[in-house]
Structure 1
Amino acid sequence: MEHHAMTPKTLTAGLLAASLIGLGSAQAEGLPDTMTWTAYDVGSQGHSEASAIADAFGRAHNTRIRIQPAGSAIGRLQPLLSGRADYAYLATESFFASEGTYDFAERRWGPQDLRAVAGRPSTFGVPTAADANIHSLEDLRGKRVAYVAGNPSVNVKCDAILAFGGLTRDDVDAVMFPAHGAAMSSLVQNRADAACTTTTASQLYELEESSRGLRWVDIPADNEEGWERMNRVAPVFQPFQETIGAGLSAENPANMLAYRYPIIVSLADRSDDEVYAFVKALDETYDLYKDATSAIHRWAIEDAGVPPIDIPFHPGAVRYLEEKGIWDDEMQAWNEARLARLEALKAAWEQAIVEGESLDDAAFAELWEERRQAVLAERS
């Protein structure tokens, strides 16, 4: 799970949003006057940004928003699926939920019919101890790479990055740590040589100042075969040159990947007009929230409203993006392919439920993964 410290600015934004005071103009056409959103726990980047956007909606449109924090993927999605929340601010669990994997591979879940409203690009890469002499992804072979137990969101990105370099987890010395913080600290402690994370984890600044030093592994934007291999693991990544974070600056950027966190997620059956109004408000109130945190400026609609993203875009969002001249034929083709993949998985799930009725949970999980891989193989 991505979890970032709160700054005084984000705390202020959170307190403003928590007050639920609407100060601005009349209600935006099509936007509900009250909403409930779920988000990561208080103190996370996702919660801070949801709070800042909620405050902007309140000031501009008198919209009252309640933010319901949750520390687990199920806790963030259950209220959305049951109708107790209107939108959820999620990360990679939106992809897992649409695929029926990890937490969502149990019989009571399966592929969920989710849609993206918008999602901010967030960077992720491979920090290494400089003394480990890792200059390329291929150099990770045989090296100690930190993984986090029970954290598929981090681990699937790490597996995808290895795939970019033509490697799998079996090609490295995968060291499992009990928590994200422990995995990040492992580099300074010389218990690992590389990790997979966002650029602003506090332990990376410690590594940069330590005797081991910090080096980001280059993930070149122009390696088409590498990107193809990476996106076979999860088709949600894009190249990004990052300048914010430990060991990074405008003068010293690093090529890494971008995924979406937070992603504003709705159910597929949410009204097109309402989602259109939501995206319009997100765009038009941008100046009210764009300085609330260090990365929230990346909610600019031309960055946050385009694929690739974890789930298909909602048609209400697409309509607004088309009007703005942002959405093009290539994006439409991406969205249609992503939607077709989701529909194929939902159909395969229904068949697996019937076929696997008499199986125990472990055997059913095996059956479903076979069916899922067959669907994906047909589509590749």
Structure 2
Amino acid sequence: MRLRLAALAACVAFPAFAFAQQAPIQLPGTIGVTAYDTGSGGYNQAVAIGNALKQNLNVNLRILPGRNDVARQAPLRDKRVPLSYHGVGSYFSQEGVFEFAARDWGPQPVRVLLLNNSDQLLTIITARDANIRTLQDLRGKRVAWVAGAPALNANVEALMAAVGLTWNDVQRVQFGGYGQSMQGIINGQADAGWASSIAGPLYQLEASPRGLHYPPLPASDTKAWAWLRENAPWFVQANGRDGAGLSAERPVHSTAYPYPILIAYADADEALVYNFTRAMLTYFKDYETAAPGNAGWALARQRFDWAMPYHPGAIRALREAGAWKPEHDAHNEALIRRQGVMIEAWRRYTANAPENAEAFKAGWMKARAEALRAANLPVVFQE
């Protein structure tokens, strides 16, 4: 396999990463990755990163767009590509829930290379004229529910539950897709739904007669955040400054989660993961402003207390960069143990599982919950 070598001089330009005295970055001439669909923020970021790798290392990043979580992850599972610019669906795959509760999936041994923690919000948005000032004000309002998008609906359900609401407390309005749900809010068919603050439809909503509002969920709401940490640990506190109606002068304190999430599987080649992580850190300035949200890949924005474990190759690069500390090891090892509990529970369950798809999923969710409780670990997704 032909390797591309980065000159040592390229590393000297980034002394903060302490890479100048190391061997050159070594990567294959072509690397396949999956990403979100063409035109999405995640896809555009991958393209920008690929351009930086081509410019500095003469490495071609072959990007395979995927329209949903399964489409993004199947090539990774099947060893057709080593990496994926994924989303929160990678966390759901770790847990073996939603689409990943199907017979051909189950809990996946995923590992993080880097997280993008940008200034966007990922939260419940509302039409300003609906007078929903807080999440509690959703009671009795029309909330979008997207068919075939259980992970998206789980986000809405989690934020409502954090403030004591359920779907029974709101008017659930069903839409056939995410885009339709946003247009439904703009057109007056619904009052609230799930969105990223940098999503195109939010700029349309902001400019429409209805207007745009972000109900806040500040850190001072300790009860709500305690609930989320226990029951929806993929969420993080965010000071939203990027997106429709947001700015550094007009931020909103609410929720987000890393997006994209650069992942590999646990058995991915450690040298490849190490060198790819180094490359993204070393050449960050070359793609930082090349696509919206790319600033979130900065070393200073990495979170080592999140809900998915890091790959050993990435840990090595992050440790050399001075970011990964010994105290991060215990959390990472605990997350790997959690994955092991679920993977073993899946192995035992599938040895004698029912054939019917619905019965299979229900039985798995029960077996999963029992295994996690027996290990004194949070269930998160109840059976």
Normalising by the smaller structure, the TM-score range is: 0.7 to 0.9
Shift of 1:24: 7.0
Whole-Å Cα distance in 2 between the matches of residues 106 and 294 of structure 1? 34
Q: In the alignment, is residue 316 of structure 1 matched against residue 319 of structure 2?
A: no
Which residue of the partner structure matches residue 129 of structure 2? 131
TM-score of the two chains, using structure 1 as the length reference = 0.87
Which residue of the partner structure matches residue 162 of structure 1? 160
SS in 2 for 1:195: strand
Q: In the alignment, is residue 49 of structure 1 matched against residue 34 of structure 2?
A: no
Q: In the alignment, is residue 114 of structure 1 matched against residue 110 of structure 2?
A: yes
Shift of 1:324: 2.4
Whole-Å Cα distance in 2 between the matches of residues 204 and 72 of structure 1? 21
1:294 to 286, 292, 297: 292
Question: Does structure 1 retain, via aligned residues, the 8 Å contact 2:35–2:63?
Answer: yes
Q: In the alignment, is residue 40 of structure 1 matched against residue 33 of structure 2?
A: no
Question: Does structure 2 retain, via aligned residues, the 8 Å contact 1:142–1:171?
Answer: yes
1:199 to 182, 197, 200: 197
Q: In the alignment, is residue 228 of structure 1 matched against residue 226 of structure 2?
A: yes
Question: Does structure 1 retain, via aligned residues, the 8 Å contact 2:147–2:177?
Answer: yes
The aligned length equals 357
Which residue of the partner structure matches residue 10 of structure 1? none
Shift of 1:231: 3.4
Shift of 1:302: 2.2
Q: Runs of 4 or more off by more than 6 Å in structure 1?
A: none
2:269 to 268, 271, 278: 271
Q: Cα gap change, 1:354/1:49 in structure 2, threshold over 3 Å: closer, same or farther?
A: same
SS in 1 for 2:196: coil
TM-score of the two chains, using structure 2 as the length reference = 0.87
Shift of 1:29: 3.4
Shift of 1:306: 3.2
SS in 2 for 1:37: strand
| Residue segments in structure 1 that go unaligned for 5+ positions in a row | 1-21
Q: Cα gap change, 1:23/1:353 in structure 2, threshold over 3 Å: closer, same or farther?
A: closer
Q: Which amino acid aligns with 2:203?
A: Y
Shift of 1:335: 1.9
Whole-Å Cα distance in 2 between the matches of residues 127 and 352 of structure 1? 39
Question: Does structure 2 retain, via aligned residues, the 8 Å contact 1:243–1:253?
Answer: yes
Whole-Å Cα distance in 1 between the matches of residues 292 and 70 of structure 2? 28
Whole-Å Cα distance in 2 between the matches of residues 183 and 300 of structure 1? 32
Question: Does structure 2 retain, via aligned residues, the 8 Å contact 1:238–1:258?
Answer: yes
Question: Does structure 1 retain, via aligned residues, the 8 Å contact 2:41–2:292?
Answer: no
Shift of 1:209: 2.9
1:19-72 per-residue CA deviation (whole Å, 9 max, x = no partner) reads: xxx897489434333211111222111111111111111221222221122223
Whole-Å Cα distance in 2 between the matches of residues 145 and 233 of structure 1? 21
Q: Cα gap change, 1:274/1:244 in structure 2, threshold over 3 Å: closer, same or farther?
A: same
Whole-Å Cα distance in 2 between the matches of residues 375 and 173 of structure 1? 35
Question: Does structure 2 retain, via aligned residues, the 8 Å contact 1:24–1:59?
Answer: no
Shift of 1:288: 0.8
Alignment of 1:328-347 (within 5 A): 328=325, 331-347=328-344
Which residue of the partner structure matches residue 175 of structure 1? 173
Further displaced range: 98-107 or 282-291: 98-107
Question: Does structure 1 retain, via aligned residues, the 8 Å contact 2:145–2:153?
Answer: yes
Percent identity over paired residues:
37
Q: Which amino acid aligns with 1:98?
A: Q
Whole-Å Cα distance in 1 between the matches of residues 195 and 346 of structure 2? 32
Whole-Å Cα distance in 2 between the matches of residues 64 and 249 of structure 1? 35
Shift of 1:82: 1.6
Whole-Å Cα distance in 1 between the matches of residues 225 and 142 of structure 2? 23
Shift of 1:98: 1.2
Whole-Å Cα distance in 2 between the matches of residues 361 and 292 of structure 1? 44
